[in-house]
Structures are given as structure tokens and as C-alpha cells.
């Protein structure tokens, strides 16, 4: 049985990461929609106690998530650089570039996740402060 070419495996992993990116984006969009709705309620001065509890709970949750994601991104950046260096040292340039796309997509995912968590926390914090 023939072995699967590494390009196929690399492309499959990249596609999986892009699907994860899209799902992550859709989840974040839902969260932002909820926050927008709460902001509208706050503007109309129709926030209930349940809404305020939601803001408090989620603000704490996203503060923790934001901090953890920030630390995780700081940890992964040198790891991605190391992996990239190893790819370019041990593989021919053309093959290394084929596998490099997985690293690029992973970096994009990690950074977008970090930004989304931080922005969600900031929005919740501002909304809670004014509520």
C-alpha cells in the first residue's frame, strides 16, 4: 500500500484548522450579538437583575479566559518559531513551505482567539461598569 503524500496530510490539517477558525468566528459573533442586545437594553434602561448577573458572571469568566489565552499565545509563539526553524533546517525549501501553511493557520487561530477573548472581556467590563 502506498504511503499518503505529506502534502495531502498538511492540506487536510490546514483545512481542519480553517474549519475550526470559522466555527470559532461564528461562536464569537453570537456572543457579540448577545452583548449588543444587552447594550441596547442598557441604553433603554431595561436591564433586569438577571441581565446584570449574566454580565457579572461572564465578565469574570472572560477575564480568566483572556488571561489564560494571553499566556497560551505567549507560550506558543516561540514554539511555532522553533517548529518553523526545524522545518526549514531539515526539509528542502519547497517541502518546508508546503508544511509551513499549517503553522501560519495555527498562528492566525491562536492570535484571533486571543483577540476575541480580550475584546469580549473589554466589552463585558464596559457594559457592566455602566449598568
pLDDT tens, residue by residue, 12-53: 999 999 999 999 999 999 999 999 999 898 888 888 889 889
Residues contacting 59, CB < 8 A, separation 6+: 121, 124, 125, 128
The per-residue pLDDT for 131 is: 67
What is the model's pTM?
0.85
Distance CA 52, CA 58 (A): 10
pLDDT band of 119, cuts 50, 70, 90: very high
Domain range list for the chain? 46-131
The per-residue pLDDT for 128 is: 85
Distance CA 39, CA 57 (A): 16
Amino acid at each position: 500500500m502506498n504511503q499518503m503524500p505529506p502534502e495531502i496530510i498538511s492540506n487536510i490539517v490546514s483545512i481542519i484548522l480553517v474549519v475550526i477558525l470559522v466555527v470559532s468566528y461564528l461562536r464569537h459573533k453570537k456572543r457579540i450579538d448577545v452583548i449588543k442586545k444587552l447594550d441596547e437594553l442598557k441604553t433603554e434602561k431595561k436591564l433586569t437583575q438577571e441581565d446584570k448577573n449574566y454580565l457579572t458572571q461572564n465578565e469574570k469568566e472572560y477575564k480568566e479566559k483572556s488571561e489564560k489565552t494571553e499566556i497560551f499565545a505567549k507560550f506558543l509563539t516561540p514554539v511555532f518559531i522553533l517548529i518553523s526553524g526545524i522545518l526549514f533546517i531539515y526539509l528542502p525549501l519547497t517541502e518546508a513551505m508546503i508544511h509551513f501553511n499549517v503553522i501560519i493557520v495555527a498562528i492566525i487561530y491562536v492570535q484571533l482567539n486571543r483577540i476575541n477573548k480580550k475584546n469580549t472581556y473589554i466589552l463585558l467590563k464596559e457594559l457592566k461598569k455602566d449598568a
